[in-house]
Every structure is written in C-alpha cells, then in structure tokens.
Structure 1
C-alpha cells in the first residue's frame, strides 16, 4: 500500500462522521503519527459495515480460500516443469531455457498467494519487524517482474520461428539465451531491491504496518514508479503485438508450389507457447487497463470509502492477473507433445512409476 500527503489528509478529513475524535488535526503534522492515526483511530463500526458489502466479501473469499488452492497447484505444476526440463535436457536450447525461467518466475509468484492466505487467515502475526517488512514478499515481487519479461522473450523467439524459421537457430543460440535470461533476472532483482528499499516499517498500537511513503524517498519512488510502468505496460504491449503477428503468420502459413497449396505444420511447442501468451494477455489486460486509468485519469482526492473500493478492485484484478502463472502446466500437457513425452520419461526414471507402468501395460 502506498500513502502520500493528499491521501492521508483526506483519510483524516471529516467524512460523514467517520472519525470519532475531534483533535485529529494535532496529529497530522508528523507523518509517522499520521499513519498511526490512520490505523488506530477509525470508527470501526462504520468501516466494518462498509466492508461487509458483496465486493469485499468476494475479495476476502478469493484471498482466504482460492489463494491457497492456486498456491498448491502452482508449486506442484511449476516445480514439475522445472524438474522435467532440468532432467530431460542435457543441452538446453533457447526455448527450454526460456520455459525454465518462466516456470521459476511463476513459482516465485506463488509466494504472493501463500502470503495472502496466511496473512488474511491470521496465521501471520501483524507485528512485522523492519527486516520482515522488506523481505516477506521479496521472492514474489522478483517473480512478478521476471515472469512477463520472460514471456516477452518467448514471444519474440516464437515470432522469429514463424517468420524467419531458417534464421532462428543462429539468432537464439545457447549463449544468447543464457545472456537474455540473466539480463531478465538482473533487471528483476534490481527492481525488487529498489522495492524493498522504499518499504517502511511503522509501529502502531495494534502492531506493525509495512507501507511505502513517497515523500520520504521522492526520487527513488519516482524511479520505481517509472520502472513499474515500463515493465508492466511495455512488456504487455510487446506480448500483444507478438501474439497478433504469430496468429497472423500461422493463419497464412501455406506456400504455393507447382500450383498446389502446401501447409507448413505448426509445431506443438509453438502452439503451446502461443496459448500461454494468449492466456497471459487475456488475464493481464484488465489489470493493465485499470492501472493505466488510475495513473492517468483517477482523481487525486479520495475518501476512505473510495480508497477501500480501489483496494478491493485492484486486489481482485491482480488475483486474476496471476491465474496465468498457474495454468501453464495444463497448457503444456494438453498441447505439448514433446513435453508429454519428456514428462513420461522423467516419471519412468523413478522405480515406483516404472512398476506401475509395467502393471498397467
């Protein structure tokens, strides 16, 4: 959650008798005491009644129930992908490296689901210290940056595969792929470190709160905001453009030879990775549109009720934007013949699966 002067002042404004105390203005001079007031001096009966509305119940259901189911599926699915690729590919090609990087990033994003489930069900104490504040979402933020960047690499590689298939092997060599993957994770790590740097841990009467206070680090906060906009929007735009190019190329993949139309077969790898990209675009586009609207057109002066509306809308859209991190394992199994074969070989390398396979056959 990000707080600024305008938002805090409006939270402390007299909004239909929401605040019970009349001496709150004396507490708005210092930023820390302002945040303390924000977390301790509400008329909680009014707030709780407001939070009982349907949209907040939906948000709580997503985080308190579905989040752990998604976390389990993501851990098993992406862990299996990493295990299959690591064991089945002694000499990684660029595609294998990109898929491995994507699976690792999606596995890190699972921390977002796990943290949300444990926090909203009261399994994590609301008394973080300064180190917890900076590190508790470190891996999930790292994966959240690396996942769309890796998808962008995959999209560009697939475009080259369908547009200039005879040159793709020379363009995406193993060394080039390793360099690109390392570049993605270096950029993601730098952005995550910056995110941890601007986090601030404040003590309240009920425990600790972990917030971003822009006025304490204005330059750093501006840099972080610009980086986030670039990573989210530019990566999304590149993926959309690449998806359109790939679909168009596949629809016109026939060539005329001696008066006959000969269709070039679509590789299962291309089909599965194209589906991964389409799923990403479908689930992430609403979040990108919502963030863009808030960045350009959202009003700066909001009441506490409008603020919580924004929080729940953003949380629901962000929840659905992460669905693509969970579905990849199913897409690979349904559309990837090579992945199914490698998965079979991986499972048969274990004695217990060989015994079951012999009994069935």
Structure 2
C-alpha cells in the first residue's frame, strides 16, 4: 500500500465516526427543536425537519456502510439480495430528497422576499406537506428500479458475493442513463436553482436596503422584531445553501468521469490518486449532511435560544418562534 492509498484508507476510517456522531446529535436536536408546538405549524420548520430526517438517513445508510467496510471488512449490502436492493433504494432516495427539501425551503424564502403578500397563501402548512409528500413520492417511484436491477453477484477473483448490477443488458443500458438523471436531480438542477434563488434574494435585499437607507427605522417593536426574524432566517438559509453549493459539486464532477476511471488509471499510482480523490469528495458531500444544525446554531440567535431552552429541560426562558418569519 503506497502513501496515497494509506491516506485514502485513513480518511475512510477517521472522519466517518465524527461525522456520524456530530451529524446524529445535530439532526436529532434540530428535529426536537423544530417539532415543538411553537414551530411545528410553520412552513420553514416543516421543511427543515424533513431535511434533518433525510440527512440522518444519508449518514446512517451511506457513510456508516463505508466506515464498516474499511474498519471491519464487512459490507452490509452483501448479506442478502433484498438488503442490497433496499439499501441502494433508501440511500438514493435520501440523497435526492435532501437536495430537494433544501430547494423547497429556499424557494419559500425566495417567495417571502420577492412576493411577501403571497407567502401566507403559498407557504401554508397544508401546501408544504403536499410538496414534501410529492417530492418523496416522486423519488420513491423513480428508484423502484433498484428492486429489479440490483442484487448479489459472485466475484470470481475473491470468491465473495458483492452488491452490484445484475447481468441484464437492458438494465445496464438503462443505468447508464439513470446515472446522468441522478446527477442532475441530486446536484446539477438543485445547484442551479439554489444559486439563482440566492442571487435573487441578495439582489432584492440590497435593493430594499438602498431604498430604505434614508427612511426612518420602524419604531413599532413588533414590526422591528419581525424584520429581524426575516433577516436571520434569510442569512441562515443563504449559509446552508452556500455549504451545499461548495460540498456537492466535487462528487458530481467525479461521477461524470467515473466511467473513464479504469482507462485513465494506468498505474498503481494513478489508481491511488483516484481512490484518494473519491474519499475526499465523499467526505465533502457527507459533511454537508452533518453541518446543518451547526449552521443554524451559529447563524440564528432565535434557534440558539430555543436550543438552550430545550437543554434547560423546557424552562420557559425564551418565547421566540424561529420559523415565524415565513408564515
């Protein structure tokens, strides 16, 4: 094992436990805070709760499997044919839903900034639940193919069974197209939407700030407080979106060229470089599923207050609603 291979293995062994630990803590605490009575009827809280659930699934189905492989040389996908199919099914749905729940909540914030008079109509709790169910249903149907095309195959060189595509020519051809579909759904389209929405939101806020620069600040306490909530929520979502935009493109770019890996890797050194690159881009994408709670906590004072209140065992120290700004 050369130096690059060693580093790739160490990345897979060292980083996943920390990501899983902190990601689980953060996402569970996020779900607990956002499902409190004061928050559960708000559109933003519902979206972010759904996002936290899918982030948990990503960490526990995807990252945990890789860590077990490198630590114990056990692949949980290879224990049964049904387990192989089910694991792929859940993992792909989790990644895709995570991206699109973020798109949905950002779109809601875009509507709140550009069309504030339509927020209460568009971002009703009922509408948000319908959107979440529609996103989930779409990806459930889209990924049903795993139960047909994936299964256990015997590796003649190692004499072990591996979870892989079955020997079906038509399905293999289909999967070549599906890889591009998944790439667009998971990364390219969300990146485009999030980038466009973020730029639009920033432009709108800057324009609004220039118009009101010479105006007297609102003296009404309720109006001022609501404006502060809107600003904090917008900043939080912009930060979360920025992390997504930074962390997901590398693995997307790598997957595009994955087909040429074996052709380009002519030497052991080339293969080691690819393995190290694969480990790094995976850590980046899983980092995105780990950090959301900490981004909420660092950028939102109202979220911090509710977390502190929760950790104080429910003492009524704070009475703010962190997601009220969108409703």
TM-score in same-fold range (> 0.5): yes
- Counterparts of 1:66 and 1:73, CA distance in 2: 11
Shift of residue 347, structure 1, vs aligned partner: 2.9
Q: Which residue of 2 aligns with 1:323?
A: 287
Larger radius of gyration: 1
Q: Which residue of 2 aligns with 1:267?
A: 231
Q: 3-state SS of the aligned residue for 1:211?
A: strand
Q: Is the Cα contact below 8 Å between 1:199 and 1:210 reproduced in 2? A: yes
Shift of residue 325, structure 1, vs aligned partner: 0.9
1:44-63 correspondence to structure 2 within 5 Å = 52-63=1-12
Q: Which residue of 2 aligns with 1:162?
A: 113
- Cα deviation code 1:195-227 (max 9, x no counterpart): 343223112353211112572514542552343
- Counterparts of 2:202 and 2:292, CA distance in 1: 19
Aligned pair 1:211/2:164, yes or no?
yes
Q: Which residue of 1 aligns with 2:193?
A: 238
Q: Is the Cα contact below 8 Å between 2:108 and 2:123 reproduced in 1? A: yes
How high is the TM-score relative to the length of structure 2?
A: 0.80
Q: Which residue of 2 aligns with 1:225?
A: 179
Note the residue ranges of structure 2 that are not aligned, 5 or more in a row: 219-226, 318-327
Note the residue ranges of structure 1 that are not aligned, 5 or more in a row: 1-51, 355-361
Q: Is the Cα contact below 8 Å between 1:194 and 1:224 reproduced in 2? A: no
- Counterparts of 1:142 and 1:79, CA distance in 2: 20
- Counterparts of 2:183 and 2:75, CA distance in 1: 32
Shift of residue 150, structure 1, vs aligned partner: 0.8
RMSD: 3.0
Shift of residue 97, structure 1, vs aligned partner: 0.9
- Counterparts of 1:206 and 1:173, CA distance in 2: 56
1:167-182 correspondence to structure 2 within 5 Å = 167-182=118-133
Q: 1:335 to 1:302 in 2, by over 3 A?
A: closer
- Counterparts of 1:152 and 1:246, CA distance in 2: 14
Q: Which residue of 1 aligns with 2:34?
A: 85
- Counterparts of 2:282 and 2:216, CA distance in 1: 45
- Counterparts of 2:88 and 2:17, CA distance in 1: 16
The one of 202, 208, 233 aligned to 1:247: 202
Q: Is the Cα contact below 8 Å between 1:287 and 1:321 reproduced in 2? A: yes
- Counterparts of 1:190 and 1:76, CA distance in 2: 31
Q: Which residue of 2 aligns with 1:147?
A: 98
Q: 3-state SS of the aligned residue for 2:117?
A: coil
User: How many equivalent residue pairs?
Assistant: 300
Q: Is the Cα contact below 8 Å between 1:71 and 1:114 reproduced in 2? A: yes
Shift of residue 86, structure 1, vs aligned partner: 1.6
1:98-177 correspondence to structure 2 within 5 Å = 98-111=47-60, 112-122=62-72, 124=74, 128-177=79-128
Whose RCO is larger (CA < 8 A, sep 6+)? 2
1:280-299 correspondence to structure 2 within 5 Å = 280-292=244-256, 298=260
